[in-house]
Amino acid sequence: MIRRAFRPAARPSRAQFLAALGFGALGALGQAPWSLWPVALLGFGGLIWLYRASATAPKAAWIGWAGGAGYFVVSLFWLVEPFMVDIARHGWMAPFALFFMAGGLALLWATAFGVARRIGGLIALVALWTAMEMLRSVLFTGFPWATVGHIWSDHPILQIAAYGGTPVLTLLTLAIAAGPAARKPLVGLAVSSILLLAGWGYGSRQLATHAAQNTDISVRLVQPNAAQHLKWDPEHVGTFLQRAVNLTSAPADTAPDLIVWPETSVPYALNDAPTVLEAISRAAGGQPVIVGGNDRVEDGWRNTLVLLGPEGRREQTYHKYHLVPFGEYIPFGEALSKMGIRGLASRDGGGFSKGPGPKLIDLPGIGTALPLICYELIFPRSFIGLPRPDLLLQITNDAWFGNISGPYQHLAQARLRAVEQGLPLIRAANTGVSAVIDPRGRITAQTDLNVAAVLDAGLPEAAPATLYSRLYDWPMRGLLVLLLIWRIAARRRVSIDHASPQE
């Protein structure tokens, strides 16, 4: 089977292959910061047309792979940025990281296109494509970044995520894109238009009838803007720390009830720096402060969030548990470290140790929060099995993600998580974008990228628990299975009818 797929007769023409690459790249332009959803629909629709024109499963799989490669190279090109921080050590890895990641993720699209071609029909493709996008959120620890459904993060259709999360947005997107490729194009176009208008209309109504409302709680987000290539430089460490302290103590119209620093904003081991923590608490006037840093533990180092009380006391601690592979740790790290290969943000050898798992922390006078460190936010399963918190709290260092698309795509996913859970979300980012987001995904306050800033804002009110917050992906999984069963059964009926003797 695999060998047959590489035979010349099994491959699409060069023109078809290049067209698929181009359509995939167009699909990526729906992602932040461009948010060009009509262009994205055109790209996905073009791939579906090429799928329909593929006579065999191998050709369809090649179209899917080429489309995925074009899509992921464009949407994930920020992946080269972390390797540029220390070019001498890691720069050579940048093109390999981007193209291997894009090519690897594209295999999931190839699988969807190839299997769908064997089953037949657009419904099979839409269902399998959606399923493969869901699979990449868990496969090999998961990487659900720039998922197809994320193209709606800045548009009213985002509100539908309250019912089915990213999967329902992906399914809707692909269904809209597939309409014009139906056997009756005008009927398909009409169905696509109805789906688009219905989704847009529902979202617009939700936003209009649920105006943003703030509680009487005030938060302060500290953005020190420590450039990644200077962040750990001994000559600059003190400067960035003092900048964060000064921003913490800056005058405010209303005294904040909570102050939040970003990920790894304390440049010393948290359990070895009591005087630093005490100084931070003094700058906050005794108000609760969330800080990020590293904890030295028996099994190494942990990426840690700490709630400081009066006099710098550690009141609550959370250790990041979903670590970035090849960033915060390297699989088989000790062996590979001897070859000079280490994680970009890791300590010696195997890098950071993961924490015990997600947990809620108590914020005095505010309620409970689910802490999320950096890219833990991109995983909806982080919320499973926990009591419903009062807010979501993310600290992150998006300096790793560059200046063009990475930070904005991360922010877009924060908006999606807020809608899925019906909860306000506050995020403090080292270089931006720090933001306060309401349960409808609206950004009520934000900073600019690459500026030192302090953001004072009210905490939005929570919305009622959403269907997605209760049931997670299970309804969507069931729907996709039913669609595939129905399509396979329909194909078998057609085969039986064709095989029956004619009278």
Q: Is 450 helix (H, G, I), strand (E, B) or coil?
A: coil
In a domain, 162, yes or no: yes
Q: Are residues 8 and 105 in the same domain?
A: yes
How would you classify the pairing of strands 367-373 and 361-363? antiparallel
Mean pLDDT, rounded, of the chain? 93
Specify the pLDDT at position 502: 46
Asked whether 308 and 288 are in contact (CB, 8 A), the reply is yes
Q: Are residues 178 and 307 in the same domain?
A: no
How many CA atoms lie less than 13 Å away from 401 in the CB half-sphere? 23
Which is the catalytic residue, given 263, 328, 376, 420?
263
Active site residue 376: no
Q: Which tens digits make up the pLDDT trace of 49-84?
A: 999 999 899 999 999 999 999 999 999 999 999 898
Is the pLDDT assigned to residue 344 strictly greater than 90? no
Q: Is 423 helix (H, G, I), strand (E, B) or coil?
A: coil
- Mean pLDDT within 455-459: 98
Q: Are residues 137 and 225 in the same domain?
A: no
In a domain, 21, yes or no: yes
For 148, 161, 203, 467, the CA distances from 473, given in Å and listed in that order, are 16, 11, 20, 10
Q: Which domain holds residue 74?
A: 2-209+474-499
- Mean pLDDT within 92-116: 96
Q: Are residues 205 and 114 in the same domain?
A: yes
22: its two tokens: 């181009």
Q: How many helices (H) and strands (E) does the chain have?
A: 17, 12
Q: Are residues 76 and 148 in the same domain?
A: yes
CATH number, domain with residue 231: 3.60.110.10
Active site residue 278: no
In a domain, 345, yes or no: no
Q: What is the DSSP letter of 158?
A: G
Q: Are residues 309 and 441 in the same domain?
A: yes
Q: Comparing C-alpha atoms, which of 392, 460, 461, 400 is closest to residue 432? A: 400
- Mean pLDDT within 441-456: 98
Active site residue 263: yes
Which element (helix H / strand E) includes 190? helix 185-209
Q: Are residues 137 and 261 in the same domain?
A: no
Which is the catalytic residue, given 81, 320, 328, 376?
320
Q: Which tens digits make up the pLDDT trace of 157-194?
A: 999 999 999 999 999 999 999 999 999 999 999 999 99
- Mean pLDDT within 195-209: 98
With helix as H, strand as E and coil as C, how does 257-306 read?
Answer: CEEECCCCCCCCEHHHCHHHHHHHHHHCCCCCEEEEEEEEECCEEEEEEE
With helix as H, strand as E and coil as C, how does 82-113 read?
Answer: HHHCCHHHHHHHHHHHHHHHHHHHHHHHHHHH
Q: Are residues 241 and 363 in the same domain?
A: yes
Give the CA radius of gyration of the chain: 24
Q: Which tens digits make up the pLDDT trace of 252-272?
A: 999 999 999 999 999 999 999
* 503: confidence class by pLDDT, cuts 50, 70, 90: very low
Residues 6+ apart with CB under 8 A from 407: 398, 401, 429, 431, 432, 433, 449
For residues 284 and 263, give the distance between their C-alpha atoms in angstroms, rounded to a whole number. Answer: 18
9 versus 137: which is more confidently predicted? 137
pTM of the model: 0.93
Q: Are residues 255 and 371 in the same domain?
A: yes
- Mean pLDDT within 292-309: 94
- Total count of domains within the chain: 2
Q: Are residues 235 and 372 in the same domain?
A: yes
Task: Output the CA torsion 316→322→328→330 (10° steps).
Answer: 140
Q: Are residues 378 and 275 in the same domain?
A: yes
In a domain, 342, yes or no: no
Residue with tokens 């001897």: 338
For residues 390 and 247, give the distance between their C-alpha atoms in angstroms, rounded to a whole number. Answer: 26
How far from the centroid of its chain's Cα atoms is residue 228's Cα? 21
In a domain, 329, yes or no: no
Specify the pLDDT at position 328: 84
Q: Are residues 176 and 195 in the same domain?
A: yes
Is the pLDDT assigned to residue 332 strictly greater than 70? no
In a domain, 301, yes or no: yes
In a domain, 341, yes or no: no
Asked whether 449 and 443 are in contact (CB, 8 A), the reply is no
Positive or negative CA dihedral for 313, 318, 324, 329? Answer: positive
- Mean pLDDT within 206-224: 97
Which is the catalytic residue, given 59, 374, 376, 420?
374
Residues 6+ apart with CB under 8 A from 297: 353
- Mean pLDDT within 416-439: 98
In a domain, 330, yes or no: no
Q: Comparing C-alpha atoms, which of 141, 189, 149 is closest to residue 166? A: 149
* 330: confidence class by pLDDT, cuts 50, 70, 90: confident
Q: Which tens digits make up the pLDDT trace of 474-501?
A: 999 999 999 999 999 988 776 555 554 4
